[in-house]
Amino acid sequence: MQEILTLLFSLGDARPAKTIPNWERAPWLEQIYCREALRDTETPRLLTTHLPAHVLAPALQRSKAKVIYVARNPKDVAVSFYHFHHLAKFLPDPSSFDAFLTQFLEGTVHYGSWFDHVKGWLGQRHLLDILYITYEELHQNLRGTAQRLSNFLGCPLAPGTLAALEQHCSFSAMRDNAMANYSLIPAEIMDHSQGRFMRKGEGERGWGRWGTAGAAALTPHALCATGVVGDWRSHFSPEQNALFNRRYQEEMGDTELPSQWPMA
């Protein structure tokens, strides 16, 4: 989303996305550097955050901010977040995937419960100027999603912007762009020896289906996100999948979601 919005606001000019790290173009609100990064930034400003609604929404309700909320299939979120724990030195060792999945379902991971996070921001639909997007939509229909974003932001699509989006915002392009793949993050923050933040390809997967004990050998390149929709199927055991489905139904069964994810 950071890359898409950068290109929308630059009218398709990819130079900012290729020369400025995304954490400077769209700084993380919860990071200490955010205020300084915004000091000389011209409007419209882009901000990124994982903060839950109960923390941030009250301030947004008093502002003119437009909010774009990106949600993803929680099973893919759990797998991706597990990988990220092996890279991020500021996060605890996730232990086995089975143990991490239990914490994820209990909401005892960083930023808390996925279920509460999604329901919290859905509850702001009548209080904020907010657009809900899913990761799957971005993956399956980039052009259509870009048009929705353009309409929401009042930022007309300039000639050539869609072509630039398709070229620059593909997973492979972002994976190879040092301004987007987090390879410039200092080693004291991210352990790059554990793998790349973004990687893709069957030959790079390196690990099979996890059993309930999580007893599988990890290879360094296997600890990064693939960007694949539905990649959780390569990692969940039948027991883990059944457990997750029960919890999902308990938490989200009565929730009106803008999009449904295939949970089977």
Catalytic residue among 50, 85, 139, 235: 50
Question: Token pair for residue 31?
Answer: 């990071």
AA letter at 233: R
Length, in residues, of the chain: 264
Burial degree of 22 (CB within 10 A; 0-12, 13-18, 19+): buried
- How far, in Å, CA of 233 to CA of 69, rounded? 25
Nearest of 229, 176, 181, 226 to residue 202 by alpha carbon? 226
Strand partners, 232: none
Q: Which residue has the tokens 């909010």?
A: 67
Residue 192 annotated to the active site: no
CB-side neighbour CA atoms (13 Å) of 190: 16
Distance of alpha carbon 190 from alpha carbon 84, whole angstroms: 9
Which structure tokens are listed for 241?
């999948």
Q: Annotated catalytic sites, by residue?
A: 50
